[in-house]
Structure 1
Amino acid sequence: MLLMIYMSTLIILISNIMMFLSIILSKKTFSDREKSSPFECGFDPKSLARIPFSIHFFLITVIFLIFDVEIALIFPIINLFKFTNFIILTKTSFFFFLILLLGLYHEWNQNMLNWTN
């Protein structure tokens, strides 16, 4: 047990030293107008290169990713039917689905699922 504590302390110490050294030794660059402007064959751009991004589209994408990850968490539950007690698995699955449904209800209540706002 004491060996594990020493090893974990040593690993944390080495990783902190490496992060500190990378911050100190990293090349600092200062951006100027030429470096931050878009490049179009050596000419100035004809239109605004940084178009506004739809926040609503971004939120829909984040909601999709969250529910997609949760679906990936549901798949292993099928394999657990062989190894666990049915009542415990049912309660755990019900609790997980309840959290999913409450999240979906909250998104719906906040009008985040309506595409045309």
Structure 2
Amino acid sequence: MFMIITNFNFNKSLLLNEYFGVLILLIFSIFLAILILFLSYILVLQKPDLEKLSSYECGFEPYEDARHKFDIKFYIVAVLFIIFDLEAIFLFPWSISLSNLDILGFWSMIDFIFELGVGFVYVWQMNVLEWD
């Protein structure tokens, strides 16, 4: 019975020592977020007008007819950015673990980079990135 109580106090002390810094950081970050929110509301001049209060729909007027034609180049460039950005993220772990990879891992990534380059050249040749 004495061993269980001693062990419990040891675990409680260990828990307090390990996570006390995390608790302080959490309390400080919540306090700082509330302080910044409060000060930004108090210190800024509130002058709303019709233009500031209107919704913004990617450069289009939000209250027009939904059946009008619009240019989709903005959306194409956004999708291409997301695709190439996500594909570029795979380069970082590969470059870090390059010394631990075998020949198959190396050539698989070289193939991936080649396909990424072919896709970029195709997008460039189709003039998708040009804003006429």
Q: State the TM-score, normalized to the length of structure 1.
A: 0.50
Q: Which residue, out of 63, 67, 71, partners 2:80? A: 63
Which of structures 1 and 2 has the bigger CA Rg? 2
Shift of 1:94: 1.5
* Stretches of 4+ aligned residues off by more than 2 angstroms: 50-54, 87-90
- Return 5+ residue gaps in structure 2 as ranges: 1-53, 55-60
- Return 5+ residue gaps in structure 1 as ranges: 1-39, 41-46
Q: Which residue, out of 100, 105, 111, partners 1:95? A: 111
Matched pairs, number: 70
Alignment RMSD (CA, Å): 2.5
Q: State the TM-score, normalized to the length of structure 2.
A: 0.45
Output one character per residue of 1:82-115: Cα deviation in whole Å (capped at 9) or x when no partner: 3212x43431221111000110111112111112
Match of 2:91 in 1: 74
SS in 2 for 1:93: helix
Percentage of matched positions with identical amino acids: 27
CA distance in 1, matches of 2:84, 2:62: 35
Paired residues of 2:77 and 2:128 also in contact (CA < 8 A): yes
The structure whose residues are more often helix, as a share, is: 2
